Amino acid sequence: MAKIAVLGAGSITFGTTLLNDMLGTESLKGSTYALMGPTLSKLQRVENFTKKLIEKNNLSANVYSTTDRREALKDADYVIAILQIGGMDSYKTDYKIPMKYGVDQCIGQCVGVGGVFRGIRTIPVMVDILHDMEELCPNALLLNYVNPMASICIAMGRSSAISFVGLCHGIQTTLDLIASYNGVKKEEIDFLAAGINHMAWYLKLEKDGKDLYPLFKENIEKPEYYINDKVRCEVTRHFGYFMTESSGHLSEYLPWFRKNKKALDTYCDQPLFGGESGIGYKFHSGVAKKFEKTDYLSYESTDLKPRSAEYCSHIIEAKETGKVFKLNGNVINKQYITNLPDGCCVEVPIFVDKMGLHPVSVGDLPTPLAAMNQSNVTVQMLVAEASLAGDPELVVAAIAMDPLTSAVLTLKEIRDLTIEMFEAQEKFLPHFKGKKPKKIYDISIPDGTEGVPVPLDPALAVANRLVSLADK
């Protein structure tokens, strides 16, 4: 019987989904669930709902709440992280301050200015969790749902030998779309997907050995299909492969879709996650406000639901029983994708059994896909390094290399934006010890200023000599 620690368990929607999945897994019968978070009242709402679920469905399980992380982790077999650092106040500045400078984000959680600052807020907490696990449950498996996934995983990989996997549901949900566009059942599709989190590519799509891509590509040329997913369809049209996240999210990972009004009006004009400005913050803040006033779990059905598309319960089941489970998960690259750097975070096929996680090597990605991934890997690795070192200048570098931000702002504007973000979120950045990027001022050049004499470049000297000869 396993002990499962859920960190950030006050998450009413996500936490209850995972708990329902695990309670509905026969091999986890009799398990203990330690619900941990900073606010006891939120934890107890989830605990009370879970106890009703256990009682009504005659399940064998124990559940309790604690604000003591070490107590939750002690002797745990599995640790599930679904926490958020900074809350809605930080998320608001993640969106509002960049928007003031002209950087229009849709989600702002994993990339861009918002993703960078969510990363540097969160990485120290995740590293502390790993160090507690080294002491209290060194053999436990960490299942991480916390964003920005890639930056956090890179930092964790540099900080500890604790076994972990980063989990997302982009693969599963996108397969529903692909199946509907091809008129087949999701379960009938054989696929190979790999890349980075929120930017993995479907390298193969087949049914009974037949390639599904020709029909898929034919359909996305039709307006009624294209309008549903403009950014993803446009990338597929130009580079040949579909990827695993919404159009709104992908529009933040690349420089072409949100850099000016024309691009936004053309590709990001659909509501919600089709590209709407700030929908990540607007959606989550709206949910948070509703849950402040009403305990929606008091109206929620306590019938045990079928297991969701989330990988979590299936991974634990595979570890407990040896029943092999295949997923796409996020791990530290060790030649799993050979044209992305070792030490970055990649999302690749993984098999799980009693012996643990077994990532699959997929070799090289098609070069354009690797290039698009690499543009974000560079930022992710800078975020991890900046947070671990407490170096604000590396934060400037990370934001300067972000594809969307660099398409919109100058270096001076990026630095000023970063300084303002540091000032707004200082209380969530104690590991920077009050440091922020240095201010750099514009250099004023008076009219008539001439440059000081400098040696000519040899090639330029030859060119000048040829010009002077030609004038004679």
pLDDT at 464 over 80: no
Give the per-residue pLDDT at 430. Answer: 96
Q: Is 238 a catalytic residue?
A: no
pLDDT of residue 460: 67
Report yes or no on 42 lying in a domain: yes
- Is 103 inside a domain boundary? yes
Task: Say what the pLDDT of residue 294 is.
Answer: 75
Distance separating alpha carbons of residues 340 and 362, to the nearest angstrom: 11
242 band by pLDDT with thresholds 50, 70 and 90: very high
pLDDT digits (tens, 9 = 90+) for 385-436: 999 999 999 999 999 999 999 999 999 999 999 999 999 999 999 999 999 9
Q: What is the pLDDT averaged over residues 426-448?
A: 96
Q: Please, which pLDDT band fits residue 299 given cuts at 50, 70 and 90?
A: confident
Name the residue among 77, 29, 73, 83 with its Cα closest to residue 54: 29
Catalytic residue among 101, 169, 226, 284: 169
Q: Give the bridge partners for 131, in sequence order.
A: none
Specify if 201 maps to a domain.
no
CATH number reported for the structural domain that contains residue 55 in this entry: 3.40.50.720
Domain count, the chain: 1
Radius of gyration of the chain (CA): 25
Domain limits for position 65: 3-168
Instruction: Tell me what pLDDT residue 297 has.
Output: 83
- Structure tokens of 6? 């859920």
Share of the chain above pLDDT 90, in %: 88
126 lies in a domain?
yes
Q: Give the pLDDT confidence score for residue 472 in this predicted structure.
A: 62
CA 275, CA 318: separation in Å to the nearest integer? 37
pLDDT at 457 over 80: no
Q: What does the block give as tokens for 249?
A: 């999210």
Model confidence pLDDT, tens digit, residues 313-359? 999 999 999 999 999 999 999 999 999 999 999 999 999 999 999 99
Q: Which residue of the set 78, 202, 253, 267 is catalytic?
A: 253
Average pLDDT over the chain reads: 95
Task: Kindly state whether residue 51 falls inside one of the protein's structural domains.
Answer: yes
Residue 356 lies in a domain: no
Q: Show the 3-state SS of the chain.
A: CCEEEEECCCCHHHHHHHHHHHHCCHHHCCCEEEEECCCHHHHHHHHHHHHHHHHHCCCCCEEEEECCHHHHHCCCCEEEECCCCCHHHHHHHHHHHHHHCCCCCCCCCCCHHHHHHHHHHHHHHHHHHHHHHHHHCCCCEEEECCCCHHHHHHHHHHHCCCCEEECCCHHHHHHHHHHHHHCCCHHHCEEEEEEECCEEEEEEEEECCEECHHHHHHHCCCHHHHCCCHHHHHHHHHHCCCECCCHHHHHHHCCCCCCCHHHHHHHCCCCHHHCCCCHHHHHHHHHHHHHHHCCHHHCCCCCCCCCCCCCHHHHHHHHHHCCCEEEEEEEECCCCECCCCCCCEEEEEEEEECCEEEECCCECCCHHHHHHHHHHHHHHHHHHHHHHHCCHHHHHHHHHHCHHHHHHCCHHHHHHHHHHHHHHCHHHCHHHCCCCCCCCCCCCCCCCCCCCCCCCCHHHHHHHHHHHHHHC
Answer whether residue 111 is part of any domain.
Answer: yes
Q: Is the pLDDT of residue 360 over 90?
A: yes
Measure the CA–CA gap between 197 and 329, rounded to whole angstroms: 8
pLDDT digits (tens, 9 = 90+) for 167-184: 998 999 999 999 999 999
Residue 78, C-beta contacts closer than 8 angstroms, at least 6 positions apart: 2, 3, 4, 5, 140, 141, 142, 143, 316, 319
* pLDDT score, position 466: 75
Identify the burial level of 252 via C-beta atoms within 10 angstroms of its C-beta, where 0-12 means exposed, 13-18 middle and 19 or more buried. Answer: buried
Mean of pLDDT values over 160-164: 98
pTM: 0.95
> Percent of the chain beyond pLDDT 70?
99
**398 touches 82 (CB < 8 A):** no
Question: pLDDT of 105-160, one tens digit each?
Answer: 999 999 999 999 999 999 999 999 999 999 999 999 999 999 999 999 999 999 99
Residue 80: pLDDT above 80? yes
Cα–chain-centroid distance for residue 216? 26
pLDDT reading at 290 higher than 80:
no
Give yes or no: 253 in active site: yes
Q: Is residue 428 part of a domain?
A: no
Tokens of 382: 């800078």
